[in-house]
Amino acid sequence: MPSLNSTVSALKPSGIRRFFDLVLAAGPDVVSLGVGEPDFSAPWNVCESAIFALEKGFTSYTSNAGLLELREEISKTMPQASWDPKSEILITNGVSEGMDLAFRTCVNEGDVVLVPDPGYVMYEPLITLARGRVELYNPLKIREITIPQNTKGIVLNFPGNPLGNCFSKEDLQHIANLAIKHDFFIFSDEIYEALSFSAPHVSIMDIEGIKDRTLYFNGVSKSHAMTGFRIGWACGPKEIVEGMTKIHQYAALCACSLSQLATVEAMRRSQKDVKKMVTEYKKRRDYCVERLSKMPISFIPPQGAFYIFVNISKFFADDVQFCEAILKKEKLAVVPGSAFGSNGKGYFRMTYAASMEQLKEAMDRLERFLIDTH
């Protein structure tokens, strides 16, 4: 066989996936707080609208940029940004595709993009595929960030995966000032926006003077429990959205038409369902925080998304060993913090996108494991 693309061959598989092969092998009685996916189903009116669309034969391509009525709904969610639905919003196959398109459109070979560590696993490989150079920063020390030469952009993600952290308006203003001073882009992944618990979400779009250098990403995967619909959106300056649309047009043509229609319904008539899910996540978070607080471990105060990042370095030198040991002994699956970058060493990530019953069982198992091993 001829050789494969060397950049792709050199990419490491995600540490999360590798760990999940172990979880699958561990058998059916595992309690998994591993996968970062809502445990709810998509709202029924949303599913119905997809069924009706099929019945009505809505089975063709949409425009490359996506249904205009959906882009119009999206522009209403952020009036302060006043994006033009016709030229500044692109519907993508999830935030994942949107960020891939953005990096490929904005980054030249050797350009530096600053990426959170610990951070969501997709940013680094996508920037590498776009031939950019990744430099890491600690999102818990956002005010101490230094800007290397050739910096072309920074990835922000808040509420954050895996930390569950949020940024204040002052934090965002600080980044905005740096972006203007050093002339770089801001790629703001706000997919967990609806799941900001401690305070109302402040978006990067609430900061003035950066609209011409900022791409904002959101979608319905997390807020509406619609991960399988694969709908996200990227909003930003016309020139960048135009570039992204070119790649999208060749590589994907458009996002799934049924899913786009279903997302219009989600945005128009699912606020109650979203509110119900958010209330439930908050209840679960409070429960886990209360239980964890009584254990001899520390954790990053979870302010949003549906993750808690727990420090176990007092007990185990190696987080991968910890996760393997608790999986083997207690059949509890959590993800090693180092899967999210080297600053995640000594931690594990647990999600509370699981039923209260599962969370109670998981907390009991964790507590017992900590007592038994020490």
Which parts of this chain interact with ligand PLP (CB under 6 A)?
36, 94-96, 120, 157, 161, 189, 191, 219, 221, 227, 232
Q: Is the Cβ–Cβ distance between 30 and 323 less than 8 Å?
A: no
- Is the CB of 191 or the CB of 292 nearer to ligand PLP? 191
- Is the CB of 49 or the CB of 221 nearer to ligand PLP? 221
Place of tokens 């997302």: 263
- Is the CB of 189 or the CB of 265 nearer to ligand PLP? 189
- Is the CB of 62 or the CB of 297 nearer to ligand PLP? 62
List of long-range contacts for 131-134, beta carbons under 8 Å, 24+ apart: 131/7, 131/107, 132/103, 132/107, 132/108
- Is the CB of 231 or the CB of 363 nearer to ligand PLP? 231
Q: How far is the CB of 67 from ligand PLP (least distance, A)?
A: 17
Residue with the shortest CB distance to ligand PLP? 94
From the list 244, 264, 247, the residue with the least C-alpha distance to 256 is: 264
The DSSP letter of residue 196 is: B
- Is the CB of 96 or the CB of 245 nearer to ligand PLP? 96
C-alpha 368/C-alpha 73 separation (Å) is 49
C-alpha atoms less than 13 angstroms from C-alpha of 307 in its C-beta half-sphere:
30
- Spacing of C-alpha 354 from chain mean position: 17
Q: How far is the CB of 219 from ligand PLP (least distance, A)?
A: 4
Write phi, then psi, for 43 (nearest 5 degrees).
-50, 145
Q: How far is the CB of 6 from ligand PLP (least distance, A)?
A: 26
- Is the CB of 94 or the CB of 164 nearer to ligand PLP? 94
Helix (H) or strand (E) holding 51: helix 44-55
Q: How far is the CB of 242 from ligand PLP (least distance, A)?
A: 22
- Is the CB of 135 or the CB of 189 nearer to ligand PLP? 189
Q: For residue 343, count CB atoms less than 10 angstroms from its CB and return exposed for 0-12, middle for 13-18, buried for 19 or more.
A: buried
Q: How far is the CB of 156 from ligand PLP (least distance, A)?
A: 10
Q: How far is the CB of 328 from ligand PLP (least distance, A)?
A: 26
C-alpha 187/C-alpha 226 separation (Å) is 23
Helix/strand/coil (H, E, C) string of 127-145?
HHHCCCEEEEECHHHHHHC
198 Cβ neighbours under 8 A, 6+ residues apart: 166, 303, 304
Q: How far is the CB of 31 from ligand PLP (least distance, A)?
A: 20
Q: How far is the CB of 372 from ligand PLP (least distance, A)?
A: 32
Q: How far is the CB of 57 from ligand PLP (least distance, A)?
A: 27
C-alpha 184/C-alpha 131 separation (Å) is 17
Helix (H) or strand (E) holding 347: strand 347-351
C-alpha 161/C-alpha 218 separation (Å) is 14
- Is the CB of 11 or the CB of 317 nearer to ligand PLP? 11
